[in-house]
Structure 1
Amino acid sequence: MTQRKDNSLSSISALIHPVVVLNISDQWTRARVQNEDPKMVCGAILGKQSGRDVEIWNSFELKSSIVESHLVLDEEYFVQRNLLYKETFAELEFLGFYVSGDHERVIEDDIYLQRQALQHNESPFLLKFNVFAPVISDKVSISVFDSSVDPVNENSLIFHSITVKIISEMAEQIGLDHVARYSKTNASAESTTSKQMAAQFGAINTFLQGIAVAKAYVKSVQLGQIEKDDYILKEINKLCFKLSVHSEKFAEQCSRDNLQTSDHKLLVLLSAFCSVQGAMFQLVEKGF
């Protein structure tokens, strides 16, 4: 069984959510604690594929063993786990396997994994995570490959590297920030994200206080309680135009649009909450 790596980039792009990286890191950490020199860890990746865009949402670890110097997965265990995940996350499909190791090259064990993945997916992907690579700025040592049959030799696979990008939604960012935060003894457990949000809230609150002062100033001038200052009134007028609230009709329309937007977001949030609640009930029934 042979393989060949094509140095050209595939036109397919892969988006990876942080939970996948955390799962692999956690699995490797536990394997390292239990075994001082673990060979490698592996598992399955789940996600969605639309045309040439692949989004990897989740992953789960698999049992493996070394047979005749080759990494072999427990097929029965994989099938059972995949079925359970399919029932819980029906919108996600099996995309391939992940394995720890040098992310810049494909080795023989990777070929065996890819051959096994071909039994469950016509065009699987292989994700490699180099756990030994030093961290350089914000660059993560992850590569994703797709494969195709060599037209010259049908027993050989050609691997193509795929453009990889780590993405995250706001909810994931907050959760990851709490997981990855560091604190000292007697230090606050507040995360970086919550601190940033608190700073933004403080800035907005200060701005609203300034608006209230400007409004009170204009009202006092109108009542003749204080002498008007043309420069201050000019600056307040500029601010009103920037805020686009000088028209009562526009203000009413803005309020109506905000109400519709809030209702829409509330419906989306309610739908997501019901979905999560249903998933939790399913997990409890399965004994997780």
Structure 2
Amino acid sequence: MSAMDTDEVSVVLPPTTTSGLALSLHPLPILNISDHWTRSKLQKNAVDPFILGALLGTQNGREVEIVNTFELAVIGEDNALVDHEFLVSRRDQYKQVFPSLEFIGWYTVTPRPSVHHIALHEQFTGYCSTPLLLILQPSLALVSASSSDVNAQTLPFKAYEPTIELRDRKSRSVYIEVPYNVETGEAERIAVDWTARGGGGGTSLESHLQTQRSAVKMLHERILLLIKYVTDVIAGTAKSDPTILRSLVALLASLPASENKHFREEFDTEYEDVQLTAFLSSLTKSTNILNDLVDKHILLTSGKEDRGGGGPRRRMRQGVPGDWDRFH
């Protein structure tokens, strides 16, 4: 057991100490931090990559909302120094687009805060008097995903508020865990729903195709079940049921015969219509491309003629005999 795991060096106060901060967390920071951690893990091929980012939001007294985030850069091999020039530049850029958002804290990925995070915390006090800390706990996500307890299905995020603890006549910087609520607006709910569908998966065409695919898959499974039943009856491993067999015969009789002349003609007609539609679409696209090419050629040609003293039409207007006179 490391020193970080002992109660003596813990930088988080016990749960009996509560915070009076009313914190709201929006979906966008959740998605941003999760994406940041996933990309860093895959790019660096590390089990526990170090990531760091800034929290943007609003604060009204003891009411705080975390609305957005952006990634930060660190200096040094031990990730001990924040690139403040990069931080200020990104903060000002966001300020131009979202004037109401302020720097209110920072985020990272860790099982729990440590002394290292206290040192990092001191570097953010110049931008905010009491910067909040939001951490992503991937291990908590794995536990919640494998747990059958409904109460265990929580987000793997924890928020902390900095404070000062007096112990043995000495003061030290510590954190208090802050409970939070997930706050969503109408636009955010639409965006999250769009993201959950895979980005663009909510179109009517794709929904229709998904429905058709599910129906065909279910039909295929039912046909395989019927074939297995008939095969078992013929092999004598299943009991013959006259009612089921009569239903199968009636079902087969209601199906159109694939070798029927009228069926083949109708099928060929529909197939040709589909092919003609595809060819027409390709032809229209090629015609549009050719039309654009001709327009560009005419534009370039007319520009060269103007630079060369004018084309046949211009010489005709000026009373100068030329090619135009010979043809007209």
TM-score range, shorter chain: 0.5 to 0.7
Query: Which residue identity does 1:27 align to in structure 2?
Result: H
Within 5 Å, which residues of 2 pair with 1:140-155? 140-151=155-166, 152-154=169-171
**What residue number does 2:131 align with?**
124
Q: Hey, what's the Cα distance between the residues in 2 that align with 1:96 and 1:144?
A: 10
Q: Deviations over 1:173-192 (max 9, x none)?
A: 111111112599xx96459x
Within 5 Å, which residues of 2 pair with 1:68-217? 69-102=78-111, 105-133=112-140, 134=142, 135-136=144-145, 138-151=153-166, 152-154=169-171, 156-181=172-197, 189-190=206-207
CA contact (8 A) 1:3 1:111 kept: no
CA contact (8 A) 2:118 2:174 kept: no
Deviation at 1:71, TM superposition (A): 3.4
The DSSP-based 3-state class of the residue aligned with 1:150 is strand
Deviation at 1:56, TM superposition (A): 0.5
CA contact (8 A) 2:41 2:49 kept: no
Deviation at 1:66, TM superposition (A): 4.6
Matched residue count: 185
Q: Hey, what's the Cα distance between the residues in 2 that align with 1:159 and 1:99?
A: 15
**Percent of aligned pairs sharing the same letter:** 28
Answer with 1 or 2: which has the greater Rg: 2
CA contact (8 A) 1:70 1:109 kept: no
Query: Which residue identity does 1:32 align to in structure 2?
Result: K
CA contact (8 A) 1:15 1:55 kept: yes
Q: What is the root-mean-square deviation in Å for CA atoms of aligned residues? A: 2.6
TM-score (norm 1): 0.58
Deviation at 1:45, TM superposition (A): 0.2
Bigger share in helix: 2
Q: Could you tell me which runs of 5 or more consecutive residues in structure 1 were left unpaired when the two chains were aligned.
A: 192-288
CA contact (8 A) 2:37 2:49 kept: no
Deviation at 1:92, TM superposition (A): 0.8
The higher-RCO structure (CA 8 Å, 6+ apart) is 1
**What residue number does 1:52 align with?**
62
Q: Hey, what's the Cα distance between the residues in 1 that align with 2:97 and 2:198?
A: 33
The DSSP-based 3-state class of the residue aligned with 2:163 is strand
Q: Hey, what's the Cα distance between the residues in 1 that align with 2:63 and 2:193?
A: 27
Task: Give the one of 19, 22, 39 matched to 2:49.
Answer: 39
Query: Could you say if the C-alpha distance between residues 188 and 107 of structure 1 is closer, same or farther in structure 2, counting changes exceeding 3 Å?
Result: farther
Bigger share in strand: 1
Within 5 Å, which residues of 2 pair with 1:254-269? none
Q: Deviations over 1:186-226 (max 9, x none)?
A: x96459xxxxxxxxxxxxxxxxxxxxxxxxxxxxxxxxxxx
Query: Could you say if the C-alpha distance between residues 128 and 35 of structure 1 is closer, same or farther in structure 2, counting changes exceeding 3 Å?
Result: same
Q: Hey, what's the Cα distance between the residues in 1 that align with 2:101 and 2:190?
A: 23
CA contact (8 A) 1:20 1:58 kept: yes
Deviation at 1:130, TM superposition (A): 1.1
Q: Hey, what's the Cα distance between the residues in 2 that align with 1:18 and 1:110?
A: 24
Flag as ranges the 4+ runs of structure 1 deviating above 4 A: none
Q: Hey, what's the Cα distance between the residues in 2 that align with 1:140 and 1:188?
A: 33
Deviation at 1:39, TM superposition (A): 2.2
Task: Give the one of 10, 17, 36 matched to 2:19.
Answer: 10
Q: Hey, what's the Cα distance between the residues in 1 that align with 2:130 and 2:85?
A: 21
Q: Could you tell me which runs of 5 or more consecutive residues in structure 2 were left unpaired when the two chains were aligned.
A: 1-8, 209-328
